[in-house]
Chain A
């Protein structure tokens, strides 16, 4: 399916005048950039007819920090800490994406211990990210209780990270050639306790929010995303899987220790906001399954295969690496001249950037409140869109 691209002339046309005294006049409204529903600094220009959105145009760029340009001046080790600051809810996956690409480019071989620790940490982070998304979706739909409950679980997972990593949000943990610290002695027991705590809590989420008819009515059949449109717009992650396409790099191109774990890819059948909602709830359960299976099989070995201050030598050429974050496929292209300590060009393929533009295809025809439901079900993190 081809996506119709609008010209600048079409986008800038003045709102239509009312045809008669009885019909309404179209008008433009700015949603954001400083608004709680935009989950950061993101602006939407909405063409409204009454309360119906005729057109939604995202205007990104308010959190642009030039991370790709900054990467050109940093070494491969230093680049990692910037990937925390893109999608901060999957900071470890960002670290991993950079490390994976650099390791692929420099030909660094890892041991099983590193791969399993990375996988466990990344899956815990996926649960943490989805818990927060669930909380914020509740808040967007007007359920403040859900917001507080979600944050409670997020903090409990955060304490596990804090103990092993030393930070909660911008962790800089997964380094090229290993992980910064080895896991704490009590880590396995603590994560097991966490899993037995989280399982009933996710069922509680179903009771509290998923089972609520108000939420169901606001999500069901709202913003149906066709799988062909989703693929042509480059959607990835839960947004694409909710439309029924089981594209998950953890299964399609297994990396880390995912090949060792048995898990299902959660997919939806229709592609509406409800499917996008429940695919993520189901993913939390699947992530816990992965962690549970890997916890007992952590082999002995060093947590770093190279010394932390050794310069990484990357040969001349262009390298690409990608993995599945909580929001979709995060890719990194590196261009190296083979001489410097860092890349001469770095480009991130961010999942949120592609997922964002779906809103302009889904929202027209829905009421303003429904566009917020669709937006919330897309789970956007703005700093990764702008980078």
Chain B
């Protein structure tokens, strides 16, 4: 006999704003004398302790994971959202046509897609796919917005580095046309169309500094101040 009978939830009908609402009135603690209180307290404590000791002698019910010792056996659900990557087909060609839909969908400007005029095809193609992990919120909107399914969220979640600049990645392995356009080219032209790109290739700007080849944002009324600071003239390194 405890101080509260937890099974005693009183069911009632109440009316609020003309709507009939079935309510469950929660149980209250009964009034007890001092001696009763001591007895009930001892009983309640014993019950609680029996529960904790029950878990102590049944370790199979413990769900704690021993990270990082279990890194090799860590299981991820298929949809787990961590670092972004460009998908490559079996020939090693990416699927990104550089349409910038992901850049527009990104809520915090973590994605910058730079295009160039292709030396072989003469059309616009992907030059750099810059993803700023440091400002990414893993909201998945870029993956959803991509019309050619070129993006994917991987299961790589360990991102500790010593310098924040190392969190700005260049996702494409090469600058050049996507797999679709590559299929139309012959072997020699494919080699000419591709230019290798490193993960950290090119100058990596600090947060807030202008990106190479991108004019700085000009806020109305501050045009003069913006024109005084010359934009970065450094081109992307090959």
Which residues of A are at the interface with B, using a C-beta cutoff of 8 A? 74, 77-78, 81-82, 145, 152, 155-156, 162-167, 170, 172, 180-181, 203-204, 206-214, 216, 220, 245-248, 251-252, 263-270, 274-275, 278-279, 281-282, 286, 308-309
Contact = CB atoms under 8 A, between A and B. Distances in A.
B23 A211 contact: no
B79 A264 contact: no
B24 A267 contact: yes
A164 B79 contact: yes
A278 B26 contact: yes
3 pairs of A and B residues whose beta carbons are closest in the complex: A166-B79, A78-B107, A213-B41
A162 B137 contact: no
Nearest to B107: A78
A128 B14 CA distance: 28
Nearest to A221: B29
Given A282-B24, A309-B147, 10 more contacts: A81-B137, A156-B63, A163-B78, A163-B79, A172-B141, A208-B51, A211-B48, A246-B14, A265-B24, A268-B25
A265 B13 CA distance: 10
Given A155-B63, A207-B51, A211-B47, A166 B21 contact: no
A213 B44 contact: yes
B180 to A, nearest CB: 19
A213 B27 contact: no
B137 A207 contact: no
Given A267-B24, A274-B29, A251 B19 contact: yes
A152 B145 contact: no
A203 B141 CA distance: 40
Contact size range, B: 35 or more
Given A266-B24, A274-B29, A309-B101, A162 B51 contact: no
Interface in B77-134: 77-81, 101, 105, 107
Nearest to A268: B26
B203 interface: no
Contacts of B19: 251-252
A170 B81 CA distance: 11
A323 to B, nearest CB: 16
Interface stretch (B3-11, B168-176, B226-234): B3-11
Contacts of B79: 162-166, 181
B48 A267 contact: no
A156 B61 CA distance: 12
A155 B63 CA distance: 9
A181 B144 CA distance: 10
A282 B63 contact: no
Contacts of B144: 180, 308-309
A208 B63 contact: no
A185 to B, nearest CB: 11
A52 B52 CA distance: 35
A211 B140 contact: no
A211 B4 contact: yes
Interface in B37-71: 37, 40-41, 44-45, 47-48, 51-52, 63
Contacts of A145: 48, 52
B17 interface: yes
Contacts of B80: 162, 166-167
A279 B26 contact: yes
A253 B78 CA distance: 37
B236 interface: no
B74 to A, nearest CB: 12
A56 to B, nearest CB: 25
B170 to A, nearest CB: 24
A60 B205 CA distance: 36
30 contacts: A152-B63, A155-B63, A162-B80, A163-B78, A166-B79, A166-B140, A170-B138, A207-B48, A208-B48, A208-B51, A216-B4, A246-B21, A246-B23, A252-B16, A252-B19, A264-B23, A265-B23, A265-B24, A266-B26, A267-B25, A268-B25, A269-B25, A269-B28, A270-B28, A275-B28, A282-B24, A286-B24, A309-B101, A309-B105, A309-B145
B139 interface: yes
B153 interface: yes
A145 B53 CA distance: 11
A210 B37 CA distance: 15
Contacts of A279: 26
A145 B56 CA distance: 12
A166 B144 CA distance: 13
A170 B137 contact: yes
Of the listed residues B16, B21, B26, B144, the one surrounded by the most CB atoms of chain A closer than 10 A to its CB is B26
B155 to A, nearest CB: 10
Contacts of B23: 246, 264-267
